[in-house]
Structure 1
Amino acid sequence: MSTPDQFTGKDPVSPDDVVLELSDVVQIFTVKGGSKVHAVNGVSLRIARGETLGLVGESGSGKTTVGRTALRLYNPTSGRITFEGDDVSQIKGGRLRRILRRRSAMVFQNPSTSLNGYMRLGDILREPLDIHKIGTPAERRQKVDEILDRIGLGSHYAQRYPHELSGGQRQRVGIARALMLDPSLIVADEPTASLDVSVQAQIVNLLEDIQAERGLSYLFITHDLALVRRISHRIAVMYLGRIVEVGASEDLFTRPQHPYTASLASMELEPEDRIIPEGELPSPSNPPSGCAFHQRCPIARPQCASDRPELVETTDMVSGQPRAFACHFPGELELAVTDHVRTTVPAPLAISAPTV
């Protein structure tokens, strides 16, 4: 019998089924004064074709840096980035554009700043096709009209400017721009953070529909726990630049193994049952010794302060799905209302209007 793949939660996949793989990726920034900020410390992740991997953690945990490094918006300090079988860690120029830029895209958090306010929407959407010299001018215009229709705005919006749109409409355009080159991977960095709840629902449903149509893979970065539980097949939890737990979405929310994951999952409970870590997230320029969470962890012991736990791969005893966690005492911090959590299934997101 084959062993399930610990990164994807599925049976072992062939190289053709893996869209993105990060292997021990490190990202260190040098800031004013010469100090080093260890934003990402040895992150390894794999995303299969058609899968949504959620990436969660507090602000400052490094999740946005992981997304930008994966797409080579930042050059990794060390480690390996493999995209559709090609090592893209250090490639430059034409090879970078042809292999990675052509087949991946990013949806940014704030569409007000990610869209060029001096360009009409049609020009914004056509620009990737122009850069990569795809199709004739007539074919490019046709594709712009088709994508505007697909995102629910209509081809007549091609003549409008970003400031003429609502926040939800601008984010739809951001998604449309990401789709123009027919990518296999989209990194969505807090794509609904600046939108109200009803508009968030529409954007998430649009992303899910497009994924079903095109077999897209998503790296979905967010701090919204209900949302990440709703949209993700698997979730990776980051704390101070490291992955501390990875697993199937429901497994992480119902049977968290790492105390930090348990604290995040408890936010869905009543206020009196929530597990609130003490203190603030430590500075990535001066991380604690041992387990980075030990200073805030309610079950920390001397070993936690001296020895950094490695990510251990195992199988969830209930679901049978692969799990991985980095904790000396996994599963000891249980949720106060386990039965409540296990029977809480996120309801489908409702759409309140045809377009936003």
Structure 2
Amino acid sequence: MTEATTVRTGKTPVDPTDVVLELDDVVQTFNVKGGLKVHAVNGVSLKIARGETIGLVGESGSGKTTVGRAALRLYTPTSGTITFEGEDVSRIKGSKLRRILRSRSSMVFQNPTTCLNGYMRLGEILREPLDIHKVGTPAERKQKVADILDVIGLGAAYADRYPHELSGGQRQRVGIARALMLDPSLIVADEPTASLDVSVQAQIVNLLEDIQAERGLSYLFITHDLALVRRISHRIAVMYLGRIVELGTAEDVFSRPLHPYTTSLASMELEPEDRIIPEGELPSPSNPPSGCAFHQRCPIARPQCATERPELQETTDVVSGQPRSFACHFPGELQLAAAGDHGQTVPAPLPVVTSAPSAI
């Protein structure tokens, strides 16, 4: 593969104390017809440092997108706290919300076709955030549009084109450019490469990494692509039915998973006969099970799992020495059993629990 189609693996070091976004015990529920209440997010706590990429993974219905949208206050959380660059933005509204959060954060959406207005030229699409927030003079706004088109590799001449004149990869570049127009410190990228072919995916990821290195951007990267998220993320948070069940560096989480659900996800990169497929379907978020939400599908579940919900616990990885967290009564057991079945040797997890942190 050429450089243009190979995802680079270098990750810029980050200072974990320089926090851009913090979610503290965020709960997001929705009322639906029939009096049902959907528990989309159930007590998520997470910190994202400046310049850090957090990968958020889990199957459809786990609550990943809801976490991303709540982080940007597209939803008002049912409970919990969202802090952005030191400011509590959980329930602020109007001009204060626009000034503190809207002007400093943005989102890249999954479908690069439907997220762009087909009746507007690219220059108009990119200028719109500047117009709304009254940034600069008309001449300065036009110049910034030209500059950002150069940054994403299209060129200023594309300002007069319409979205339908572009390829899927070019449209996604425009989506990234729009997210960059206000010089944000945080971007939530919701499956930004899902609709693109493999070579274009690599180009988009390389572009995001280049921009992060130049601008110190933080990313919350939501995806189903385990190989991709492993390559680009500093840390990975694994979600299941509205909760984070494991969190750690990309290498630690996939090489030495502690939660059985993470073990099953990591096994998807193995040969079909070696994969661990959870039985049954993801439970309904309107009627979550008691105890551990995964216990009905877990190969190593015990009676305790059905009655006692495990909280997110902090530990230190036995190989890397890096902090990581898990929410399981029997951490690492399934990974050890699977490794033994294939004649492999992995370090016993032996977690050293220090606390049940509000945010990691």
TM-score, with structure 2 as normaliser:
0.90
| CA distance, structure 2, for counterparts of residue 198 and residue 10 of structure 1 | 28
Q: Is 1:283 aligned to residue 281 of structure 2?
A: no
The 8 Å contact of residues 39 and 240 in structure 1, kept in 2 or not, is answered as: yes
| Aligned counterpart, 1:219 | 220
Q: String of CA shifts for 1:192-214, please: whole Å, max 9, x gaps.
A: 00001111010000000000000
Secondary structure of 1:113's match? Answer: coil
Q: Is 1:200 aligned to residue 201 of structure 2?
A: yes
| CA distance, structure 1, for counterparts of residue 195 and residue 105 of structure 2 | 23
- Give 1:10 deviation, angstroms: 7.3
Matches within 5 A, 1:88-107: 88-107=89-108
| Aligned counterpart, 1:85 | 86
Q: String of CA shifts for 1:276-301, please: whole Å, max 9, x gaps.
A: 10011000000111000000000000
| Aligned counterpart, 2:117 | 116
Q: String of CA shifts for 1:117-141, please: whole Å, max 9, x gaps.
A: 1110000000000111111101100
Match of 1:310, as an amino acid? E
Match of 2:223, as an amino acid? T
The 8 Å contact of residues 14 and 50 in structure 2, kept in 1 or not, is answered as: no
Match of 2:290, as an amino acid? S
| Aligned counterpart, 1:73 | 74
Give the root-mean-square deviation of aligned CA atoms.
1.5
The 8 Å contact of residues 254 and 338 in structure 1, kept in 2 or not, is answered as: no
| CA distance, structure 1, for counterparts of residue 115 and residue 16 of structure 2 | 38
Secondary structure of 1:238's match? Answer: strand
Distance 1:144 1:11, change over 3 A: closer
The 8 Å contact of residues 253 and 341 in structure 1, kept in 2 or not, is answered as: no
Q: String of CA shifts for 1:154-200, please: whole Å, max 9, x gaps.
A: 11110011111111110000000000000000000000000011110
| Aligned counterpart, 1:23 | 24
| CA distance, structure 1, for counterparts of residue 227 and residue 75 of structure 2 | 29
| Aligned counterpart, 1:4 | none
- Give 1:102 deviation, angstroms: 0.4
- Give 1:338 deviation, angstroms: 8.4
Distance 1:94 1:252, change over 3 A: same
The 8 Å contact of residues 54 and 233 in structure 2, kept in 1 or not, is answered as: yes
| Aligned counterpart, 1:348 | none
The 8 Å contact of residues 134 and 140 in structure 1, kept in 2 or not, is answered as: yes
| CA distance, structure 1, for counterparts of residue 15 and residue 276 of structure 2 | 34
Secondary structure of 1:115's match? Answer: coil
The 8 Å contact of residues 14 and 49 in structure 2, kept in 1 or not, is answered as: no
| CA distance, structure 2, for counterparts of residue 313 and residue 135 of structure 1 | 46
- Give 1:19 deviation, angstroms: 0.2
The 8 Å contact of residues 82 and 89 in structure 1, kept in 2 or not, is answered as: yes
| CA distance, structure 1, for counterparts of residue 240 and residue 15 of structure 2 | 28
Which is worse superposed, 288-297 or 328-337? Answer: 328-337
Match of 1:136, as an amino acid? T
The 8 Å contact of residues 258 and 330 in structure 1, kept in 2 or not, is answered as: yes
| CA distance, structure 2, for counterparts of residue 187 and residue 339 of structure 1 | 38
- Give 1:327 deviation, angstroms: 0.1
The 8 Å contact of residues 15 and 49 in structure 2, kept in 1 or not, is answered as: no
| Aligned counterpart, 1:302 | 303
| Aligned counterpart, 1:345 | none
Matches within 5 A, 1:236-255: 236-255=237-256
Runs of 4+ aligned residues of structure 1 deviating over 2 Å after TM superposition are 9-12, 335-342
TM-score, with structure 1 as normaliser:
0.91
Match of 1:52, as an amino acid? T
Secondary structure of 1:55's match? Answer: strand
| CA distance, structure 2, for counterparts of residue 206 and residue 257 of structure 1 | 32
| CA distance, structure 2, for counterparts of residue 258 and residue 314 of structure 1 | 13
Q: String of CA shifts for 1:310-356, please: whole Å, max 9, x gaps.
A: 001111111000010000000000143586999xxxxxxxxxxxxxx
The 8 Å contact of residues 269 and 341 in structure 1, kept in 2 or not, is answered as: no
Gaps of 5+ in 1: 1-8, 343-356
Secondary structure of 1:24's match? Answer: strand
| CA distance, structure 2, for counterparts of residue 105 and residue 275 of structure 1 | 36
| CA distance, structure 2, for counterparts of residue 211 and residue 151 of structure 1 | 13
Q: Is 1:61 aligned to residue 73 of structure 2?
A: no
| CA distance, structure 1, for counterparts of residue 158 and residue 344 of structure 2 | 49
Gaps of 5+ in 2: 1-12, 348-360
Distance 1:340 1:188, change over 3 A: farther
Matches within 5 A, 1:258-269: 258-269=259-270
Distance 1:60 1:341, change over 3 A: farther
Secondary structure of 1:112's match? Answer: coil
Match of 1:256, as an amino acid? P
The 8 Å contact of residues 22 and 46 in structure 2, kept in 1 or not, is answered as: yes
| CA distance, structure 2, for counterparts of residue 194 and residue 50 of structure 1 | 26
| CA distance, structure 1, for counterparts of residue 136 and residue 224 of structure 2 | 39
| Aligned counterpart, 1:42 | 43
